[in-house]
Chain A
Amino acid sequence: MTRLPGILTVAAWMLALLWLSPLLYALWAAFHPAAFMAHFRPGAPLTLDNIRDAWTQAPFARYILNSVLLVTSVLAAQILLCTLSAYGFARFDFPGRDLLFLLVLVQLMIVPEVLIVENYQTMARLGLVDTIAGMGLPYMASAFGIFLLRQTFKSLPRELDDAARIEGCGALGTLWRVYVPLAKPTLTAFALVSVSHHWNNFLWPLIITNSVSVRPLTVGLALFGAPESGVSWPMISAATLIAILPLVMAFLIFQRQFVQSFLHAGIK
């Protein structure tokens, strides 16, 4: 590999700096008194007041708990439902299979948030408005997860099935003892993509929730920063940092896996 010409390296760094600047600015605003929010002086005093005030003015701990509950329940259900049906699609012959799989793929394009109006009415009929279950249910079967796992299952040699059968495993036993362990990288990739998607999801949670005990972090943050709430800019910065911290920390620790997973998931 040859070295890049100097001017291109400088351009790359300028763009990177521009890309980081909103985050760097939020860090500045969150850790300095409001008087310094637009005055960048090296010696400006540092403070944790904004973080503390944001944390006490809105129930962020509760929002984080709600987001964690949402993300884990969606992920658990997705892994169960997608693994079962991917196995069915990959290894079993049944009438209507191909048509059914084509119908599953429809959800790759038409995600539940496009159908907010009808899905809201369904949730109202089921009595699930303003519940974690109502917030997660439309996502619990993921076409994307089914597709990804089916590809993986299909790539495994069929001889493994026969071996498992001779050992006395039934269909579910084979899935659990042979397929699931071999599909671990795919499951990890899917899990990371799913968790970051649902941690960040906004429109559907906004519509379906209306109380503090259910609202996830994104919705809580949007309400906190709304102009009507009259919260100061440094506090909004602090709250935004609180909201992104868990995922950014996870990302910094598992950077390689994240990038690999998004790639693995995107190339389909």
Chain B
Amino acid sequence: MIGTPSRPTRAVTGWLLVLPATVVLAAFTHLPIVTTLIASLHSRATAIRPARFVGLDNYRSLAADPVFWKVMGNTVAFAFGTVPVSIALALAMALWVNRRIAGRGLLRLAFFLPTMLPMIAAANLWLFFYTPDIGLLDQCLGLAGLSGHNWLGDPSTALPCLMAVTIWKESGFFMIFYLAALQGLSAELREAAMLEGAGPVAYFRRVLFPLLMPTTLFVSINAVLNAFKMVDPLFILTKGGPSNASNLLLYYIYENAFSFNDGATAATLTVVLLGLLAVLAISQFVLLDRRVHYR
């Protein structure tokens, strides 16, 4: 006769099962969060002087650093510049691909393919578009009789260039979430709306868009999260320049830690990023939790 294992035995088994993953997670996520917080309260260590406790000094000097505010502004601008456009495009792509349209499979492939590429490769592909004079963008302008432009070297266009690559890379990824949501809607919905005399525009505005709201919310939050952590294309396209015009938070952390050797500032910046991510995580939890009640 095989009995049910006792409660304590099962508790021990449970602990042992979750132990290995928990140890790795603690070592590379939770512990570093704590040590980053501690490091942000200490001065920069040099060869002759070890780090000492300085309280909030690092935060004060960060608040007084114009580059920091520039980088924060860029990061927020980057999020606002990429997220709404990617989402609008993703929705348009999903609506197209969901309908009977010539070459549907190829369209879906074209929209989704950039998602599969490494961001480094995507940035390489786009680099040539932006190259002054011989790049494709300038050649197209040349055909229209306009003169060339140093897209990545001009502070006013460097950040928008990065945004374009990101929109290109991410729209197709968000498309599949809309596609899944659209396929979950019943086919009678459209017919009912048409019978009520709603045109395609009214149907979209009054019926489809509100029903897709949970998806839009989910996608938006994840898109903002991605925007705050965006870093890869900077290594290829702008290196954050010219004069920080396209520098973003995670790249600035990287620069401080590995180029300027300023671990204290890097830690303080990391705390700022962690704070932003935490706010987003909590808002996702609250907003998406409320969505359940609408169902």
CA distance A120 to B36 in the complex (A): 12
Complex contact B107–A16 (CB within 8 A): yes
A114 proximity list for chain B (CB < 8 A)? 229, 250, 270, 273-274, 277
Interchain CA distance A184-B238 in the complex, whole Å: 43
Query: Is there an interface contact between B17 and A92, defined as CB atoms closer than 8 Å?
Result: yes
Q: From A16, A92, A112, A251, give the contact of B28 (CB < 8 A).
A: A112
Question: Which residues of the other chain, B, contact A17 by a CB distance below 8 angstroms?
Answer: 110
Residues from chain A with a CB closer than 8 A to the CB of B128 are: 25, 29, 233, 237
Instruction: For B99, list chain A residues within 8 Å (CB).
Output: 1-4
- The answer for the CA separation of A17 and B99 in the assembled complex, in Å, is 19
Give the CA-CA distance A263 to B96 in the complex, in Å: 18
**How many residue-residue contacts, CB under 8 A, span A and B?**
260
What mask results when residues 79 to 92 of chain A are scored 1 for a CB within 8 Å of chain B, else 0? 01110110111011
Report yes or no: A119 in contact with B28, Cβ–Cβ below 8 A: yes
Question: For A243, what are the chain B residues with a Cβ–Cβ distance below 8 Å?
Answer: 118, 120-121
In Å, the complex CA distance between A110 and B11 comes to 29
| CB within 8 Å of A: which B246-289 residues | 250, 253-254, 257-258, 263, 266-267, 270, 273-274, 277-278, 280-281
Q: Is the interface of B mostly helix, strand, loop or mixed?
A: helix
Q: Is the CB of A200 within 8 A of B20?
A: no
> A94 contacts B125, CB within 8 Å?
no
The size bracket of the interface on A is: 35 or more
* Interface residues as binary, B124-146 with A (CB distance below 8 Å gives 1, 0 otherwise): 11111101001010010000000
| B292 at interface, CB cutoff 8 A | no
A5 CB to closest chain B CB (Å) equals 9
Interface band, chain B: 35 or more
Closest A residue to B136 by CB, please name it: A25
A interface footprint on B5-30 (CB within 8 Å = 1, 0 otherwise): 00100111111111111111101111
* Contact for B110 among A19, A122, A207, A266, CB less than 8 A: A19
* Residue pair A92, B10 in contact (C-beta under 8 Å): yes
Min Cβ gap A57→B in Å is 15
Closest CB-CB distance, B148 to chain A, in whole Å?
A: 12
Q: Is the CB of A196 within 8 A of B29?
A: no
Complex-state Cα separation, A241 to B293, whole angstroms? 47
- CB pair A117 B267 closer than 8 Å: yes
In the bound complex, do residue B177 and residue A267 qualify as a contact, i.e. CB atoms below 8 Å apart? Answer: yes
Contacts of A188 in B (CB 8 A): none
Do the beta carbons of A94 and B168 come within 8 Å of each other?
A: no
Q: Could you say which residues of chain A place their CB within 8 Å of the CB of B15?
A: 88, 94
Give the residues from 10 to 55 in chain B that come closer than 8 angstroms, CB to CB, to chain A. 10-25, 27-33, 35-36, 39
Q: Which residues of B contact A (CB under 8 A)?
A: 2, 4, 7, 10-25, 27-33, 35-36, 39, 89, 92-93, 96, 99-103, 106-122, 124-129, 131, 134, 136, 139, 168, 172-173, 176-177, 179-180, 187, 222, 225, 229, 231-232, 235-236, 250, 253-254, 257-258, 263, 266-267, 270, 273-274, 277-278, 280-281
- The 5 A-B pairs of least Cβ separation, nearest first, read A92-B14, A88-B17, A118-B32, A141-B24, A200-B118
